[in-house]
Amino acid sequence: MHNILTTTPLSSFRAAAQAGEFLVTAEVAPPKGGDPTHMIEMAATLKGRVHAVNITDGSRAVLRMSSLVASAILLQNGIEPICQIACRDRNRIGLQADLMGAHALGIHNILALTGDPVKAGDHPEAKGVFDLESIRLLQMIQKLNHGVDCNEQPLTDGALNLFPGAAVDPQCNSWSGLQSRFDRKLEAGAQFFQSQLITDFERLEKFMDQIAGGCNKPILAGIFLLKSAKNAQFINRCVPGVNIPQDIIDRLAKAKKPLEEGMKIAAEQVQVARQLCHGVHMMAVKREDLIPQILDLAGVAPVNLVVSK
């Protein structure tokens, strides 16, 4: 039986990406425990406003429910997931097994990630696996889609049909390194790219002009809801590679209602991103319910849902 968990027609992120629509995705964390109610409630507020919802896979190496299981739960609730798969915790056998399972459940959008280092998380004594990294994971997905495993042995019960994407960081310090990894991810079969949190939009414009121009794959800029000056300072301190400008921190500090100011800042950033790239990836940790309001402020209409076949 195929797509056994799909109970309602879903918008197709792949169809929208291939049609060249302005894409909107958002990120939701799986539960820390066995009750998915809050995750489902947050994701439900995004229905009709995003093409798909990313489910993180042990982000920052912090323990949470399996991204594959959480994605299946969203699918049961009529929400199209993008299932993040990180290489940190599984070897190539486990990764291939989960990808086959994703396909069987009707979960086709996969974001291939290397994964954050174990030492960064809440189980620093755990053993990191890192049998593969994101480029080799993309190569493996390409093989599975062609009906063979990573050893070129045939998949006797059918090829997969996954739509793989990759992360990109236009604010990376090494321009040549950024160019090299982007090109290699393209070559490995990445069909879309979601960026890390963007604060330097001049840098994003340069990336789009000099590296991503002509690649014919959608690039989604990461837009993060900053809730206060303290929140922005925490991110600068604790998230590698992110530098929230002082003028934004000052603006949040002076605001009578910092959360509302943060929403305005995020909406302004969405408007800038619309002029530069093919979509936005919205991140509003624990306040995903505010994303529709941010999109309204930015003038982004509800998404054009394409019913999957």
- pLDDT per residue over 53-82, tens digit each? 999 999 989 999 999 999 999 999 999 999
pLDDT level of residue 238 (50, 70, 90 thresholds):
confident
Q: What is the pLDDT of residue 305?
A: 64
- pLDDT per residue over 151-170, tens digit each? 999 999 999 999 999 999 99
- Which of 34-43, 56-65, 234-243, 263-272 is the least confident region? 234-243
- Residues 300, 21 contacting (CB under 8 angstroms): no
Dihedral pair phi/psi, residue 46, rounded to 5°: -95, -5
Give 295 or 60, the one with higher predicted confidence: 295
Domains of the chain (ranges; CATH) run: 12-298 (3.20.20.220)
**27: buried, middle or exposed (CB in 10 Å: 19+, 13-18, 0-12)?**
buried
In this prediction, residues 256-270 reach a mean pLDDT of 98
| Token pair 């305005």 in the structure block, residue | 264
Q: Using CA atoms, how far apart are residues 166 and 133, in angstroms rounded to an integer?
A: 11
Residue 11: pLDDT over 80:
no
Between CA 14 and CA 130, with CA 25 as vertex, the angle to 5 degrees is 85
Exposure on the CB side of residue 259, measured as CA atoms within 13 A: 9
Mean pLDDT in the chain?
94
Q: What is the pLDDT of residue 10?
A: 54
What is the secondary structure of 221-281 as a DSSP string? EEEE---SHHHHHHHHHHSTT----HHHHHHHHH-SSHHHHHHHHHHHHHHHHHHHSSEEE
